[in-house]
């Protein structure tokens, strides 16, 4: 029997139980006339190795470390080695995660992942210290408070960016196209997320979802109601802005998709075993009443944002405009460990209704529109009315129009840079309305098309 120090009761118990199970398995196999499984033998040899290393670190490491710290680090190392999204959450981190899904937490306000050993920004959250400081999706955080990020785990890097509200943190960021690293100082703050915002743009409704927390579904429903009340029959459609939305709760992504879909599959999650496959379908009722929808996405749109985008695109319920999404198509299950926090484990992948995998591929927009800076040029052009002796010429009209043109040019220079992608989305809605007629007629013409039921969707998804 293997022996360990008396204070390693949990580890000793684990090995003892493993030995007992192995002995029983060995006895069963011998009774059946077979030799013990080589896989079983190798597994328990590896457990021996873990115990030996643990003992050696406890006894000889240059600084004394608590047993709890060593074991938790070992567990976290096992999980983080699986993929960038699996990890161990101690009690404090588990509490923080639960708070963040409720829409309020402390920090800088950025969603990050680990890429090639460096922390990459998935997206900044609106109206947070990171957003106001100019952090952009796709930035690489290479240094935190004078300490290089290379070599740190994602959890370690996130821990360094968290801290007491009101304290400063220095970041060095590498940005594609920048001549040199960008240095910035941010002040940590309480991050209060208003997950849904809306406004009226001309005859269109604009709805922005910043994150899919537990308030997302109710926020979108409220936005639609208020936009309808303000525009009435003039409403020609909606712009659903999911740019730089890092994702959030799966059930909220499904619920938001269901708001705009009348039937059909929304998303399927497929795990390691066939019986783990789960399909979520829309329920009757389209709150947008068939009006056109333009969905804005970009490289910061991840996870839950990609579920919504993929569902609306596959059902031809919305036109996707912008740039390719992030490609985070895996499902993380948070498994509480009573008395020891929780573990976040990747358990499945997301698939769109047509069977497309989102993981590492993302969603391609129907219309690619890169971000652009809009500038107005005041170009003087000769018109018919400027020609001497032109028919129906009125000097005062020409003078007024010239003055008006000059004035417009001056005002344009003073305007803030406009959102080019949003402008193109609004143009698209206006164009659809002009092509199809009045907004009310467009709603009828744009009713959700026939979509495959869940059974036929399953058949399509099963195809290679």
- Catalytic site positions: 303, 314, 328
Contacts of residue 109, Cβ cutoff 8 Å, sequence gap at least 6: 124, 125, 127, 128, 129, 130, 131, 189, 191
Contact between 130 and 110 (Cβ < 8 Å): yes
> 109, 124 in Cβ contact below 8 A?
yes
The number of CA neighbours under 13 Å toward the Cβ of 68 is: 5
Q: Are strands 238-241 and 265-271 parallel, antiparallel or unpaired?
A: unpaired
Q: Residue 190 belongs to what H/E stretch?
A: strand 189-192
205: tokens are: 């409704």
The structure tokens 């529109």 sit at 369
Q: Are strands 293-297 and 238-241 parallel, antiparallel or unpaired?
A: parallel
Gap between the Cα atoms of 433 and 443, Å rounded = 9
120: which 2 tokens?
Answer: 């990459």
CB 212 within 8 A of CB 219: no
DSSP assignments along 248-314, one per residue: B-HHHHHHHHHHH-SSSEEEEEEESSGGG-EEEE--S--TTTT--EEEEE-TT--THHHHHHHHHHH
In the block, which residue shows the tokens 């309808």? Answer: 228
CB atoms within 10 A of CB 310: 28
Which tokens is 135 given? Answer: 């952090």
Chain centre to alpha carbon of residue 322? 15
DSSP label at 424? H
- How far is residue 42 CA from its own chain's centroid? 40
SS3 label, residue 197 = strand
- Residue 141 pairs with which residues in a beta bridge? 119, 173
In Å, the largest CA–CA distance within the chain is 114
For residue 147 the two structure tokens come to: 């300490």
Q: Is the dihedral of CA 426, 430, 431, 432 positive or negative?
A: positive
């Amino acid at each position: 029997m293997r022996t360990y120090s008396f204070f390693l009761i949990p580890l000793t118990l684990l090995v003892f139980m493993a030995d007992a199970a192995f002995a029983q398995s060995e006895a069963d196999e011998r009774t059946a006339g077979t030799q013990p499984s080589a896989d079983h033998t190798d597994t328990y040899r590896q457990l021996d190795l873990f115990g030996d290393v643990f003992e050696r670190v406890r006894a000889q490491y240059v600084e004394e470390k608590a047993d709890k710290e060593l074991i938790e680090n070992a567990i976290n190392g096992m999980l983080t080695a699986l993929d960038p999204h699996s990890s161990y959450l101690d009690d404090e981190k588990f509490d923080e995660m639960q708070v963040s899904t409720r829409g309020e937490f402390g920090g800088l306000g950025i969603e990050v992942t680990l890429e090639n050993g460096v922390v990459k920004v998935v997206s900044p959250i609106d109206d947070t210290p990171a957003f106001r400081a100019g952090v952009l999706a796709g930035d690489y955080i290479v240094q935190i408070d004078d300490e290089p990020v290379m070599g740190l785990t994602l959890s370690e890097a996130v821990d360094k960016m968290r801290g007491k509200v009101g304290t400063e943190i220095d970041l060095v960021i590498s940005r594609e196209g920048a001549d040199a690293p960008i240095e910035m100082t941010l002040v940590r703050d309480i991050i209060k997320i208003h997950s849904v915002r809306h406004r009226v743009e001309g005859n269109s409704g604009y709805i922005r979802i910043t994150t899919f927390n537990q308030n997302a579904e109710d926020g979108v429903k409220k936005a639609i109601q208020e936009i309808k009340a303000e525009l009435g029959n003039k409403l020609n459609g909606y712009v659903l802005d999911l740019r730089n939305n890092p994702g959030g709760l799966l059930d909220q992504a499904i619920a938001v998709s269901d708001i705009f879909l009348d039937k059909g599959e929304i998303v399927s999650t497929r795990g390691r075993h066939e019986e783990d496959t789960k399909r979520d379908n829309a329920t009757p009722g389209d709150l947008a009443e068939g009006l056109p929808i333009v969905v804005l996405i970009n490289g910061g749109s991840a996870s839950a944002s990609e579920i919504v985008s993929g569902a609306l695109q596959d059902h031809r319920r919305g036109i996707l405009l912008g740039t390719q999404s992030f490609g985070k198509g895996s499902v993380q299950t948070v498994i509480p460990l009573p008395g020891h926090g929780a573990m976040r484990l990747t358990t499945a992948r997301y698939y769109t209704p047509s069977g497309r995998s989102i993981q590492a591929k993302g969603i391609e927009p129907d219309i690619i529109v890169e971000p652009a800076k809009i500038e107005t040029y005041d170009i003087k052009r000769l018109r018919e009315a400027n020609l001497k002796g032109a028919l129906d010429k009125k000097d005062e009209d020409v003078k007024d129009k010239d003055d008006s043109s000059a004035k417009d040019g001056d005002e344009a220079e003073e305007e803030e840079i406009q959102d080019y992608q949003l402008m193109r989305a609004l143009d698209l809605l206006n164009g659809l309305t002009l092509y199809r007629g009045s907004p009310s007629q467009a709603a009828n013409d744009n009713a959700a098309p026939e979509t495959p039921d869940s059974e036929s969707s399953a058949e399509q998804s099963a195809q290679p």
